[in-house]
Amino acid sequence: MAQKKLEKQLNILDYALSSLWRRRMKSLSLLLVFAAVIFLLASFQLVTQALSDKAKQVLAYTPEITLQKMSVGRQEAIPLAYRERLGGIFGIRRVVPRIWGYYFDEVRLANYTVMGMEVGEMPEGARLDTALASGAMPGPGPEEQGKVVIGQSIKKALALEGRTTFSLFRPDLSLKAFEVSGEFSRDTDILTNDLMVMNLAEARDLFALPAGMVTDLCVYVANPKEIDTIARKISEALPAVRVLTRPQIQKTYQVVFGWRSGFGSICLLAALAAFVILAWDKASGLSPEERREIAILKVLGWETSDILAVRFWESVLVSGLACILGMTAAYIHVVYFAASLFRPVLMGWSVLRPELYLVPRLEAGDILLILAFTVIPYLAATVIPAWRSATVPADSALGG
Amino acid sequence: MLIELSGVSKIYNQGKANEVRALSDIDLEVEQGSMVCLKGPSGSGKSTLLAIIGCIFPPTSGRAAIAGRQLARLPDRFLTLHRRETIGFIFQRFNILPELTVLDNITLPLLPLGVPPRERRQRAQQLLERFAISHRARFPAGQISGGELQRVAIARALINNQPIILADEPTAHLDTALSREFMEIMQQLKAAGKTIVIASHDPLVFEHSAIDRTVTIKDGRIHVP
C-alpha cells in the first residue's frame, strides 16, 4: 500500500515535471523572478553575516577602554604623563600608548590609516600579529627604524612590485624612508586593508608629534565586567579626557548596522511582496488549454487531490530550483563581486573602503530563514489558485 | 444489467435563477457486452446522460446503478474511484494532450493508480501494437494524423481494462473513412465483451450493424417514436 502511494507520488511528480516543461516560457519567467528575489535576500543575509563577523573581528583588537584628549570639542594629542594619573585605579591591567592617524599620500592620491604602537606591550589576543599573512610586527628598538607592516590595499597603492622600501613625506616635506617588514592577511581586510603599523617612535616622527605626546591611551582591564566602573573612575580622574569603552563602540556599530540592515530588509520585503502578487497572478490565470487539460485528467480518473499534488510539486520544483539558483548566485555575488549591490547600503558611502574581501558563512538557520521568507509565501500564494484549478468540473471535457 | 437507470433527472443550478433541467425521468438498461447509441441533436441531453453513466456526477433524482454501484450513495471521491475501475472515455475531438507523446497520453489514467513506469509502458505497448501505432509511441500527439489520434484515444480508454466504454460524439470531426474505421474497432471491442455506449447524431454510427439499440433523446427525455 505504501509502495503504491509512493509510486503514485513519483508518477505525479513526473507529470508535474513534464507539465512545467510544456509551459516552459511561463515556468522560466516565474523561476527567474523567484531566483532573483532569493538572490537578493540571500545576498543580503550573506553580507549581513559576513560584516557582523568582520565587526566582531575588529572589536577583538579594540582596547577595552580608549582615552582621547578633547579640546573645544575636537580631539588633540594626549600627554603620556596621564598614564601616571591612572595608577591608583584598581583593576587596570595595562595602559598602552598609541598614535592613530590618517595619512593622505598626495603622490598616490590614497588615504592610509597609520598606527604607531609598541606591540609587545599589548596583551595577547589584542595584538595585531595574529592578523599577519607574512613577516613580523616592528619592535620597539632603534634597529626597527623605518619598519612597517602594511595592509593589502596599501601594497597595491604603493605598487611595490618586489621592492620592500618606500618613502612618505613628513609635514615639513622631508622624506621618511620605510621598509615593509610584514603584510596583513586578506581575512582581516575590514580592519587592516588600509592600515600601516609601525612603532611609536616612527609614527611620532612621521606625524611630527611632540615628544611625550600620543593620540590615544589604550586601557586594558583585568576583569571585563568592570569596564564601566573603571571607565567612570577614569572620567573622574581625567575630566578633560573622552573615555570610549568597547561595549559603547559595539553598540554604535550595532545601531548603525542595524538601521542599514533594517532599511535593506524593508526594501527586500517589498520586492518579495511584489513577487508573491506576481506568483498569485500567474497561478490564478488558467488558460482554456489548462482548464481543458484538468477536465480531461479528472474524467480519466484523477482526483482533485491528484491535481493539487501536481500543482504542489510544480511549486516545490520551481521554488527548489529558484533557491539553488538564487543562493548560488548570491554566494558568487558576495565572494567574487564583494557584494557590490549592497555595499553602499550596508557599509555607508562615507566609509567606503577601497576593497573588501567578505567571507560569507551560510548556516542551516540562515537557509531556513531564507526559505521561510520566500518558499512559504510562494506556496501560500499559489495554494488558492491551485485549488481553483483543481476544482474545474470534469464534465467540461464533454461536449454539449 | 451493467447499466441501470430508473427515473433519472438532472437539474443544473437547482434553485437558482439560471436553473436548467437537462434530463427528465430517464429509464435505461444496458446489458453487458452490448452496444447502445444515444441519438439526438445538440443540447438534447446526450452528454449529460453520458456523464451520469460515466460516474462524473450523480443524478439529481432517480436511481442510477453502474456495474452494481448506486451512484447517488457515492461521495465524489468514490465516484472517481469507481469511474477509474469501470469506465473508459472517448471524447469528442478525442481530447488528446498535443504536447505529450502518444505513449504518455495513453498511460495518463494509470498515473494516479500508482502503476510503475515499466508496467505502464508494457500495458501501453500492447495496445499500441493492437492498434498498429507502436511506431508513433514517442511522437508528440500533436504531430500524428487524425486516424492515429483516434486510435490513441481508444487505446487510452482501454488502458485500465475497464468493462464499459463511453464515447461522446466520437465521429463528429472525422471523415467517412475514419468514422467507419472507428465503428469497426468498436465492433471488435464489443466482440471482446466490452459494453459500449456512444452518444452521436451521426447516421454512420447509429445505423451501424454493430449497434444493438438506439435510444433517441429529445429535450432531456427518451423519445419513443
Name the residue ranges covered by the structural domains of chain A: 11-58+253-397, 92-221
Least confident of A384-398, B81-95, B137-151, B211-225: A384-398
Among B84, B111, B169, whose Cβ lies nearest the Cβ of A11? B111
Rounded to an integer, what distance in angstroms lies between the CA atom of residue B154 and that of residue B135?
Answer: 17
Average pLDDT over residues A88-104: 90
Q: What is the pLDDT of residue A87?
A: 83
Q: Evaluate if residue A350 carries a pLDDT over 50.
A: no
Q: Evaluate if residue B101 carries a pLDDT over 90.
A: yes
Least confident of A107-116, A335-344, B41-50, B66-75: A335-344
Stated as kind and residue range, the H or E segment containing B166 is strand B164-168
Average pLDDT over residues B11-25: 89
Share of chain A above pLDDT 90, in %: 26
**Chain-chain contact of A301 with B114 (C-beta, under 8 angstroms):** no
Rounded to an integer, what distance in angstroms lies between the CA atom of residue B153 and that of residue A243?
Answer: 87
More confident residue, A350 or A57: A57
Q: What is the 3-state secondary structure (H, E, C) of chain A?
A: CHHHHHHHHHHHHHHHHHHHHHCHHHHHHHHHHHHHHHHHHHHHHHHHHHHHHHHHHHHHHCCCEEEEEEECCEEECEECCHHHHCCCCCCEEEEEEEEEEEEEECCCCEEEEEEEECHHHCCCCCCHHHHEEEECCCCCCHHHCCEEEECHHHHHHHCCCCCCEEEEECCCCCEEEEEEEEEECHHHHHHHCCEEEECHHHHHHHHCCCCCEECEEEEEECCHHHHHHHHHHHHHHCCCEEEEEHHHHHHHHHHHHHHHHHHHHHHHHHHHHHHHHHHHHHHHCCCHHHHHHHHHHHHCCCCHHHHHHHHHHHHHHHHHHHHHHHHHHHHHHHHHCCCCCCHHHHHCCCCCCCCCCCCCCCCHHHHHHHHHHHHHHHHHHHHHHHHHHHCCCHHHHCCC
- Quick: pLDDT tens for A227-249: 999 999 999 999 889 999 988 88
How does residue A352 score in pLDDT terms, banded at 50, 70 and 90?
very low
More confident residue, A371 or A257: A371
**Residue B169 DSSP class:** S
**Chain-chain contact of B95 with A8 (C-beta, under 8 angstroms):** no
- Quick: pLDDT tens for B159-176: 998 999 999 988 887 889
How does residue A260 score in pLDDT terms, banded at 50, 70 and 90?
low
Rounded to an integer, what distance in angstroms lies between the CA atom of residue A248 and that of residue A235?
Answer: 15
Q: What is the pLDDT of residue A262?
A: 65
> Which residues of chain B neighbour A5 with C-beta distances below 8 Å?
114
Residue of B163, B173, B171, B158 whose CA lies nearest to B208: B171
Average pLDDT in chain B: 90
Q: What is the pLDDT of residue B11?
A: 92
Please give, rounded to a whole number of angstroms, the shortest distance from the CA of B21 to a CA of chain A.
Answer: 14
B57 touches chain A (CB under 8 A): yes
Axis crossing angle, helix A304-336 with helix A2-22, rounded to the nearest 10: 60
How does residue B213 score in pLDDT terms, banded at 50, 70 and 90?
very high
Residue of A7, A1, A15, A4 whose CA lies nearest to A312: A15
**Chain-chain contact of B56 with A299 (C-beta, under 8 angstroms):** yes
Q: What is the pLDDT of residue A351?
A: 41
B20 touches chain A (CB under 8 A): no
More confident residue, B122 or A141: B122
- Quick: pLDDT tens for A292-337: 888 889 888 898 889 889 988 988 898 889 989 999 998 888 888 8
Average pLDDT over residues A122-135: 73
Residue of B nearest to A1 (CA): B114
Are the C-beta atoms of residues A307 and A389 closer than 8 Å to each other?
yes
Q: What is the pLDDT of residue A78?
A: 93
- Quick: pLDDT tens for B51-70: 899 988 889 999 999 988 88
| Grid coordinates given for B191 | 466482440
Among B57, B92, B116, whose Cβ lies nearest the Cβ of A7? B116
Residue of B nearest to A394 (CA): B56
What pairing do the DSSP bridges indicate for beta strands B61-66 and A175-184?
A: unpaired
Q: What is the pLDDT of residue A284?
A: 63
- Quick: pLDDT tens for A26-35: 889 888 888 8
Average pLDDT in chain A: 82
Question: Which amino acid, residue B109?
Answer: P
Length of chain A: 400
Q: Evaluate if residue A355 carries a pLDDT over 60.
A: no
How does residue A136 score in pLDDT terms, banded at 50, 70 and 90?
confident
How does residue A213 score in pLDDT terms, banded at 50, 70 and 90?
very high
> Which residues of chain B neighbour A18 with C-beta distances below 8 Å?
100, 104
Q: Evaluate if residue A219 carries a pLDDT over 90.
A: yes
Question: Which amino acid, residue B201?
Answer: H
Average pLDDT over residues B37-54: 90
Query: Which are the contacts of A376, defined by CB distance < 8 A and separation ≥ 6?
Result: none
B219 touches chain A (CB under 8 A): no
Domains and CATH numbers, chain B: 3-215 (3.40.50.300)
Residue of A nearest to B57 (CA): A395
Residue of B nearest to A5 (CA): B114
Please give, rounded to a whole number of angstroms, the shortest distance from the CA of A387 to a CA of chain B.
Answer: 16
**Chain-chain contact of A301 with B112 (C-beta, under 8 angstroms):** yes
Residue of B nearest to A302 (CA): B112
Average pLDDT over residues A389-395: 78
Share of chain A above pLDDT 70, in %: 88
| Grid coordinates given for A346 | 550596508
Among B97, B112, B172, whose Cβ lies nearest the Cβ of A8? B112
Are the C-beta atoms of residues B128 and B155 closer than 8 Å to each other?
yes
